[in-house]
Homo-oligomer: A and B are copies of this chain.
Amino acid sequence: MQSLQEKASAWSGVDQADAFAIDEFNLFEKLGLQSFINLSTNFYTRVYDDEEEWFRSMFSNSKKEDAIQNQYEFFVQRMGGPPLYSQRKGHPALIGRHRPFPVTHEAAERWLQHMQNAIDESVDIDQDSKVKMMNFFRHTAFFLVAGNELKNQNQNQNNQVACKHAANKPAEEE
């Protein structure tokens, strides 16, 4: 069975080494806090204004300013800065915290399109860092798609086992 990271690489087209090239130097020290705040603000402005209701509605239980803070604090922590996210919210637990959301291939692509547009508009981030960050984002988005499919597998298995109406009956083939 393919691992989460193998699926992420296969689906994103970004191999593990390129995805984590963000660790080759300290992006937080290079770019500074404000660059990350600006990027997440631009990104979520696009997301909350998305014309596609199926995508926009996934974020409707969070306030935009909270979404922005959660994201830039995670980026800062993961890219060499102080652990702002964990101090406030604990482990990132990316798959666990995305559990309520249908992170499909289509949702990953739409998330990435908004992020590509936000990155393209950024005047704070140099070209090399933009490439590294987009590789990280692309791999991570499909890592979460892989995590989402794991959830569906578990639920299907559990339905077969746990349905009380089918007690002691052999599982039916469908």
A151–B162 Cα distance when bound, in Å, is: 14
A87–B16 Cα distance when bound, in Å, is: 7
A23–B87 Cα distance when bound, in Å, is: 9
Q: Is A96 an interface position by the 8 A CB rule? A: yes
In the complex, identify which listed stretch (A41-49, A112-120, A152-160) lies at the interface while the others stay far away.
Answer: A152-160
A154 and B86 within 8 A (CB)? no
Protomer copies: 2
A23–B16 Cα distance when bound, in Å, is: 26
Query: Which of the residues B17, B20, B93, B154 comes within 8 Å of A93, measured between beta carbons?
Result: B93
Query: Which of the residues B23, B94, B151 comes within 8 Å of A91, measured between beta carbons?
Result: B94
- B residues less than 8 Å from A16 (CB atoms): 87-88, 90
Q: Is A150 an interface position by the 8 A CB rule? A: yes
Which residues of A are at the interface with B, using a C-beta cutoff of 8 A? 3-5, 8, 16-17, 19-20, 23, 82-83, 86-97, 99, 139-140, 143, 147, 150-151, 154-155, 158-159, 162-166
Known contacts A90-B143, A158-B159, then 17 further A-B pairs from the complex at CB < 8 Å, ordered by chain A residue: A4-B96, A5-B89, A20-B83, A20-B87, A90-B139, A91-B94, A91-B143, A92-B92, A93-B93, A95-B96, A96-B147, A99-B151, A99-B154, A155-B155, A159-B162, A159-B163, A163-B163
